[in-house]
Chains A and B, each alone.
Chain A
């Protein structure tokens, strides 16, 4: 709907949106009461429709108080989800995970296509330092906070120090992960462009690879500390190599195929994206490759090795208004409010310590890398958000350590819930303060390519 640079909407428009929102909730509420035992085929379809419509309208209304659209999508999911109005039940929310997989694939594709080699080259020092400092400092600080809070964390009660340290290490890796989806959603809404936007996008996308590596190392160490029967094994590295190289290989091939399609056929690319998103995500999971990394690579290849990058971005951008709403509204519906109510004190401290560590690490790395003032001041803001990627990592940890899987996952959900709500608000606020959102010359944000070199990153 509205984006940065549009004329302000008046009271009449907002009233209509509020009425339409009430009607949307009312229609589905009435239908669920009239036919409560519905087991029909289109339950998922009505849920998608509801989340899409309610999310879009709520995001418009929350715009009045300066909140990002993403917060509106999340709130729509929370309100309509299984813990509040129960318009979308648990079963349907689980069913929507396939739609989420598709959304994540498209988000990664767009993220990869936003990364240009010349941008990365200009940012290489800044990115390298930030990645190192963030990974080490945030991991250590979050693990430390976890160890300190261990007596209050139910699922590590009775653990001695070394096993707690093992779990804390895994928690630290989770804290290093960020949300590419939230970053792209905010950039897409605000059409921001400038050093903070460029740095944030490049860092968040690249950190996905780092997190995968860190998780493999942490899993190996945690096994030792927890006295796992599997013990120390280099097999984890073999699996990691297989996953990383395989994902990059598939991603490269996919990128070339997509570029060839865009060049030779071009038409109905939306359908191709949908098909690729659904089928390939399942295939990649089946062969234990990382879909996010594969799609990220594909987007990167199309942008940097073929002449079709702008076209790919344009096609994905066309779907952005739909994809982001569904993704985050479903995430909102997924939020386990009773769990959050139970774990909120611990979750709040863990989320707070992570945010503080991220802030300090960002300031430190900016100073070391000699970043421009805006990145130095606001570069941390995009690193607070967490979403589906972090929850996916928690599931991976749970599979590796079934003894505390449930508790670990629950705590991760509670912390991600907080970061998911607060992170995007901070990032939008930072982009506004950095003066990167008020670009009236950008009717459409086609890419974050560093057109004016002087403003695209540190010298």
Chain B
């Protein structure tokens, strides 16, 4: 690695330590869950503003960042079916996946037509751009829901449903990313059709997930399990990338498999969840440094179209929730916008696409992901809190220290969507 990388790594560590020291006293007070500040910092330090971080320097970090993005997907897969100490309800899971697919479809469709109307990208690039934009706009980050639930002591069926929907919505972007990678023309498995390539990645995740579950055995030894977990995940990430497939998709499947097969699923989840924040921050920061404001003509207009489409989709989703989720009638359609917070998964998906499929289309997707993250974090938590208040599920309790992305030690052992401890 070049000398600049060490300087950059030092900066990152300083920034991280700073955020640890001041956490909970500054930005969170304004309703922005931790993470957006790193995106903004990345944009500011990146080549298009201050130029402190050059593209060539950031490139040195790509192996680490690719692995970090895959690890985030693993953690999301592991938590897909688990909320706190309970399983996600089937109804909530179906609602989460279907509604996220709807949002992805609407955003992707709107962008596809906008790209055609503005003639911003070549016809061949429009479909990948639309697919990517849909993928990075449909996730509802579980941290935002957890934050509101913990901070305001929300408890009830609506809170539970929101937690379930947020958990399961991560499936859609990860699957779309897998499909995009499988469709790439330079994949080493060129003899296989795209769906078969997607299945190869998923099968690898499934088999390594089963292997990890079996090896973790009957007795769970937390410290000694790290070697096995890290070994299987890194091997899966490396092999999948070698085959030109999406490491995020494979690791998501692997995490999902572990969450269903392993008898230690709760222990494993508790073990890996604290790693999410330290892994997420560099991904968010460097994704910010990669955002290119000149990559595509009409970029602001295209981002605005994607955001507007998401707002429209969320309002429709909100109306559907008021009819389908028990007790959500009083919350009103704004509850849909309460789920507009995208998180690290969306940004990691955009970043992975940018690394694997560089070009104008992936630059546009990354810009939309960044804009969605900032927009969602500014708008969604407040609206979700209001919706839950209107649904009568928040209590007049003194706000507890929120822990949107923090370790279980910082968070009380209570699950999101299950209300405050008595």
Give the chain B neighbours of A28 by CB distance below 8 A: 235, 239
* B409→A267 contact, CB < 8 A: yes
* A272 / chain B contacts, CB cutoff of 8 Å: 13, 17
| Complex alpha-carbon distance, A270 and B223, angstroms | 13
Q: What is the distance, in angstroms, from A396's C-beta to the closest C-beta of chain B?
A: 22
Chain A residue numbers with a CB within 8 Å of B277 are: 268
Please give, as numbers and ranges, the residues of chain A lying within 8 Å of B17 by CB-CB distance.
261, 265, 272
Given A23-B211, A31-B242, A49-B235, 14 further pairs, Cβ under 8 A: A2-B224, A27-B235, A35-B188, A41-B62, A42-B67, A45-B238, A46-B234, A46-B239, A53-B228, A56-B231, A98-B1, A275-B12, A279-B10, A322-B226
* B189 close to A (CB within 8 Å): yes
Residues of B contacting A17 with CB < 8 Å? 215
Most buried by B among A52, A279, A317, A325: A52
- A278 at interface, CB cutoff 8 A: yes
Which residue, B16, B20, B235, has most C-beta atoms of chain A within 10 A? B235
Which are the 4 A-B pairs with shortest beta-carbon distances? A46-B238, A49-B234, A53-B231, A49-B235
Cβ-based interface call for A44 (8 A): yes
Say yes or no: is B63 at the interface (Cβ < 8 Å to chain A): yes
Contact code string B225-244 (vs A, CB < 8 Å = 1, else 0): 01110111111111101111
Q: Are B232 and A321 in contact (CB under 8 A)?
A: no
- Which of A32, A53, A275 lies at the interface centre, i.e. has the most chain B CB atoms within 10 A of its CB? A53
Give the chain B neighbours of A41 by CB distance below 8 A. 62-63, 66, 241, 355
- Quick one: CB contact mask for A248-282 with B, threshold 8 Å, 1 for yes? 00000000000001000101101110010011001
Q: What are the residues of chain B within 8 A of A217 when measuring CB–CB? A: none
Q: Contact between B224 and A35 (Cβ–Cβ < 8 Å)?
A: no
- A275 — which chain B residues lie within 8 A by C-beta? 9-10, 12-13
Contact residues of A between 119 and 137, Cβ < 8 Å to B: none
| Complex contact A34–B6 (CB within 8 A) | no
**Are B63 and A1 in contact, CB atoms less than 8 angstroms apart?**
no
In the complex, per-residue mask of A26-56: 1 if CB is within 8 Å of any chain B CB, else 0:
0110011011001011111111111111111
Those of A389-431 within 8 Å (CB) of chain B: none
- Tell me the complex Cα distance, A57–B235, Å: 14
Which chain B residues lie closer than 8 Å to A279 at the CB level? 6, 9-10, 13
Query: Could you say which residues of chain B place their CB within 8 Å of the CB of A38?
Result: 188, 242
**Roughly how many angstroms separate A35 CA and B237 CA in the complex, as a whole number?**
15
Query: Does A3 sit at the interface, judged by CB under 8 A?
Result: yes
User: A318: CB under 8 A from chain B?
Assistant: yes
Interface residues of chain B, those whose CB is within 8 Å of chain A, are 1, 6, 9-10, 12-13, 16-17, 20-21, 62-63, 66-67, 188-189, 204, 207-208, 211, 214-215, 217, 221, 223-224, 226-228, 230-239, 241-244, 247, 274, 277-278, 355, 407, 409-410
Residue of A nearest to B16 (CB): A271
Chain A residues contacting B410 (CB-CB under 8 Å) are 267
Which of B13, B211, B224, B407 contacts A321, CB < 8 Å?
Answer: B224
Q: Could you tell me if B242 and A49 are in contact, using CB atoms closer than 8 angstroms? A: no
The yes or no answer to A449 lying at the interface (CB within 8 A) is: no
Contact of A24 among B1, B62, B235 (CB under 8 A): B235
**Interface of B: prevailing SS:** helix
Whether B243 contacts A34 by the Cβ 8 Å rule is: yes
State the CA gap A264–B207 with chains docked (Å): 43
Q: How many chain A residues touch the partner (CB < 8 A)?
A: 54
Is B242's CB under 8 angstroms from A43's CB?
A: yes
Instruction: List, in ascending order, chain B residues with CB within 8 A of A20's CB.
Output: 211, 214-215
Known contacts A34-B189, A35-B244, A272-B17, A49 near B6 by CB under 8 Å? no
Is A310 an interface residue, CB under 8 A from the partner?
no
Q: State whether the Cβ of A13 lies closer than 8 Å to any Cβ in chain B.
A: yes
A317 touches B235 (CB 8 A): no
Partner of B235, one of A44, A46, A283, A319: A46
In the bound complex, what is the Cα–Cα distance between A13 and B218 (angstroms)? 10
Cβ-defined partner of A278 (8 Å) among B9, B211, B224, B228? B9
> Given A268-B20, A279-B10, A325-B227, A27 and B278 touching (CB < 8 A)?
no
CB < 8 Å neighbour of A49 from B1, B10, B237: B237
- Chain A residues near B188 (CB, 8 Å)? 34-35, 38
Nearest CB of chain A from residue B76's CB, rounded to whole Å: 19
Answer yes or no: A442 CB below 8 A from chain B CBs: no
Which residue of chain B lies nearest to A314 when distances are taken between CB atoms in the complex?
A: B223
- Asked whether A1 lies within 8 Å of B228 as measured between CB atoms, the reply is yes
A321 touches B227 (CB 8 A): yes
Tell me if A16 is interfacial: C-beta within 8 Å of chain B: yes
With CB as the reference atom, state the residue of chain A lying closest to B223. Answer: A318
Q: Is the CB of A35 within 8 A of B235?
A: no
Q: A52-B234, A98-B1, A267-B20 are in contact. Are A46 and B226 (CB under 8 A)?
A: no
Give complex CA distance A318, B21 in Å.
24
Could you tell me the distance between the alpha carbons of A23 and B235 in the complex, rounded to whole angstroms? 11
Given A41-B241, A56-B228: A321 in contact with B223 (beta carbons within 8 A): yes
Choose among B211, B215, B226, B242 the residue that contacts A40 (Cβ–Cβ < 8 A). Answer: B242
Binary contact track A1-20/B, C-beta < 8 Å → 1, others 0: 11100000000010011001
Q: Which residue from chain A places its CB closest to the CB of B211 in the assembled complex?
A: A20
